[in-house]
Homo-oligomer: A and B are copies of this chain.
Amino acid sequence: MAPSIAIACEVAAERPAQKPAYTSYGRMAAEFNEVQASRVGHRLQLPSVLKRQFEIVDGPPSSAAGNPDEISKLFPHLFGQPSALLVPSATVTTAASRQSQKIGVVFSGGQAPGGHNVISGIFDYLQEHGKGSTLYGFKGGPAGIMKCKYLDLTADFILPYRNQGGFDMLCSGRDKIETPEQFKQAEETVLKLDLDGLVVIGGDDSNTNACLLAENFRSKNMKTRVIGCPKTIDGDLKCEEVPISFGFDTACKTYAELIGNLMVDSRSSGKYYHFVRLMGRAASHITLQCALETHPNITIIGEEVAAKRLTLKNVTDYIVDVICKRSELGYNYGVVLIPEGLIDFIPEVQQLISELNEILAQGPVDEGGMWKEKLKAQSLQLFEFLPRSIQKQLMLERDPHGNVQVAKIETETMLIQMAEEELEKRQQENKYKGTFKGLSHFFGYEGRCGFPSNFDATYCYSLGYAAAALLHCGKTGLIASVGNLGAPVSEWTVGGTALTSLMDVERRHGKFKPVIKKAMVDLQGAPFKLFAAMREEWALKNRYLSPGPIQFVGPTSHAVNLTLQLELAARARSPGDRIAELQQPNPKTSS
């Protein structure tokens, strides 16, 4: 317990004597404004099953999302685990289930609104079901596990973070526990802290890592179990049992507010095209969701661009065609949504980037441009076609994984420049008589750390409760899953899904690596289909909607994002069905 005390002293040193609610990272209830204070006091609902005695029903053995043979080799102790569902129990709680526990929790990767509520959910579960339990928070992401840097989370400490945005209670990091030495460090930490369980709050990579940790601990007969929680504003970590990752709802609502404002601005002044690039690197869920809520004139969905193998010229032409048609209707203004990772979806650009990556990996390039001779003809042509500023951005240094830093490429500015050039051409050909003024925006960081919407706040709290309950029941290698989200909170289902069931393998450096397959925008899915059916109307008629700022009180404060609503409606199976299904083929009941 020595490190914990040491940290407690640090905290005390930072805390002004007269202001008792200060935390190590600077949150202080006494300094809150009214909204922060009112959110701290916001009471959260729980699914009924979590409010009563429950037991766990196991489903049939699971497989993998792809290459089950390889996954079973990579996770020999965990592969095939069933999904778990909490169901009401008439049994009186056994002494075992009342045992106190030592649990650790960590934030991994980028922030998403609601993370603090996952922790308060875990904490409150332990208070209620495991008197005398301890909750440790690892600081600064997975590195905190490896370096054994943690905080002892108490009720007072957690209080000012309830229903607040950000991950600053513990901070986060992007490190991974990968090498044998790193696994050793993690083992040492969990042994030192005598951890019964660990909750990893993260995206696809972090949950893959959580599963590797679970497998590692299990393989060494260590008692520490690991449960993941689905976090990412990008919305690309989901499956049937995990209908949505937390943070997506809030982030999209924050962006949609701003987009709605820009639409009204656009229509009011009648002279601007607002080009908005939206965070979301690998998948275009955020862009699609924002489009569904606001009805922009032009929306580019990366997955469609990739599926149709569109070129940058195709995308530019589509944008310019809409601008020209609108101009004929008298509208020289509009709003265009672009996903952050757009250029990654364009095959020819991907090709160019991979060639550039290779060239740059060999060392710095010559100023004279001789290096360009190493590009293939098509790539060179594309490179020369790009605006100068984009050429420069492409050459910028890469992220730690060696990838092009997509967030740095101002795709929206690039498309504005390309649209300008094409429009000028059409003007000279007398095919366009309008005026065009593009303004660029990037909405990203603003949406990652907002106050969680009521949906995210409640959902995360349930996820935290679920994670703690699964650990308490002896589960490991699952991702917490809360379902039936279209129903009132009391009817939400609570359980866990085998992380291995979400996995496939990728071949890297001659080895199979497990990866959780990212959930891309499904071009046959209900959200995209609705968008595809409406986009022509939205392009030419102004069907703008202004969602306005997120509301915490009142009639509009419990709206759930359309993407989730549509996906749930398309599935439309009752939780009762699911329980029946889970119970039929291979019923197993544990704790």
Q: A36-B546, A547-B33 are in contact. Are A449 and B262 (CB under 8 A)?
A: yes
A263 to B541, CA, bound (A): 38
Interface string of A441-458 (1 = CB under 8 A from B): 100011111110000000
- A560 CB to closest chain B CB (Å) equals 12
| B553 engages A261 (CB within 8 Å) | no
Q: A26-B542, A35-B546, A541-B26 are in contact. Are A447 and B269 (CB under 8 A)?
A: no
- Which residue among A111, A267, A559 has the maximum number of chain B CB atoms within 10 Å of its CB? A267
Q: Is A430 on the interface with B (CB-CB < 8 A)?
A: no
| B449 engages A270 (CB within 8 Å) | no
Q: Is A76 on the interface with B (CB-CB < 8 A)?
A: no
| A269 engages B172 (CB within 8 Å) | yes
| B548 engages A551 (CB within 8 Å) | no
A140 to B551, CA, bound (A): 33
**Interfacial residues of chain A within 540-567, with CB under 8 A of chain B in the complex:** 541-557, 559
Q: Which residues of B contact A328 (CB under 8 A)?
A: none
Q: Which residues of B contact A35 (CB under 8 A)?
A: 546-548, 551, 556
| A171 engages B556 (CB within 8 Å) | no
Interface string of A424-447 (1 = CB under 8 A from B): 000000000000000101000111
Q: Which residues of B contact A272 (CB under 8 A)?
A: 445
Q: A34-B555, A445-B274, A549-B450 are in contact. Are A264 and B165 (CB under 8 A)?
A: yes
A293 to B31, CA, bound (A): 12
A548 to B34, CA, bound (A): 10
A94 to B554, CA, bound (A): 44
Q: Taking CB as reference atom, which chain B residue is nearest A39?
A: B548
| B33 engages A545 (CB within 8 Å) | yes
- A575 CB to closest chain B CB (Å) equals 26
| B34 engages A269 (CB within 8 Å) | no
Partner among B269, B447, B549 whose Cβ is within 8 Å of the Cβ of A171: B269
Interface string of A18-42 (1 = CB under 8 A from B): 0000000110000111111011000
- A152 CB to closest chain B CB (Å) equals 20
Q: Which residues of B contact A274 (CB under 8 A)?
A: 445
Q: Is A349 on the interface with B (CB-CB < 8 A)?
A: no
A518 to B36, CA, bound (A): 35
Q: Which residues of B contact A445 (CB under 8 A)?
A: 261-262, 265, 272, 274, 439, 441
Q: Is A411 on the interface with B (CB-CB < 8 A)?
A: no
A268 to B447, CA, bound (A): 13
| A36 engages B258 (CB within 8 Å) | no
| A449 engages B554 (CB within 8 Å) | no
- A173 CB to closest chain B CB (Å) equals 8
| B553 engages A554 (CB within 8 Å) | yes
| Chain multiplicity (copies) | 2
Q: Which residues of B contact A171 (CB under 8 A)?
A: 267-270
Q: Taking CB as reference atom, which chain B residue is nearest A331?
A: B26
- A533 CB to closest chain B CB (Å) equals 16
**Interfacial residues of chain A within 84-106, with CB under 8 A of chain B in the complex:** none
A449 to B266, CA, bound (A): 9
Q: Which residues of B contact A269 (CB under 8 A)?
A: 110-111, 167, 171-172
A31 to B542, CA, bound (A): 11
- A258 CB to closest chain B CB (Å) equals 5
| B111 engages A449 (CB within 8 Å) | no
Q: A261-B445, A261-B448, A556-B35 are in contact. Are A267 and B26 (CB under 8 A)?
A: yes
A264 to B166, CA, bound (A): 5
| A168 engages B33 (CB within 8 Å) | no
A265 to B264, CA, bound (A): 28
Q: Is A120 on the interface with B (CB-CB < 8 A)?
A: no
A272 to B446, CA, bound (A): 13
Q: Taking CB as reference atom, which chain B residue is nearest A544?
A: B26
Q: A264-B449, A270-B171 are in contact. Are A257 and B164 (CB under 8 A)?
A: no
- A117 CB to closest chain B CB (Å) equals 14
Q: Taking CB as reference atom, which chain B residue is nearest A14?
A: B541
- A158 CB to closest chain B CB (Å) equals 16
Q: Which residues of B contact A551 (CB under 8 A)?
A: 35, 549, 551-553
Q: Is A83 on the interface with B (CB-CB < 8 A)?
A: no
- A170 CB to closest chain B CB (Å) equals 9
Footprint of B on A, CB under 8 Å? Answer: 25-26, 31-36, 38-39, 110-111, 140, 164-168, 171-172, 254, 257-258, 261-265, 267-270, 272, 274, 293, 439, 441, 445-451, 541-557, 559
A sample of 24 cross-chain residue pairs with beta-carbon separation below 8 angstroms, ordered by A number, consists of A25-B542, A26-B541, A26-B543, A31-B545, A35-B547, A35-B551, A111-B264, A111-B269, A166-B264, A167-B268, A171-B267, A171-B268, A171-B269, A254-B261, A257-B450, A261-B447, A261-B448, A262-B446, A274-B445, A450-B549, A451-B548, A451-B549, A548-B552, A549-B551
Known: A35-B551, A171-B269, A549-B550. 12 other contacts (CB 8 A): A26-B267, A26-B542, A35-B546, A36-B548, A110-B269, A261-B446, A265-B449, A441-B445, A450-B548, A450-B549, A451-B548, A551-B553
- 8 closest A-B pairs by beta carbon, nearest first, are A549-B549, A553-B554, A166-B264, A264-B449, A35-B548, A265-B449, A26-B542, A167-B268
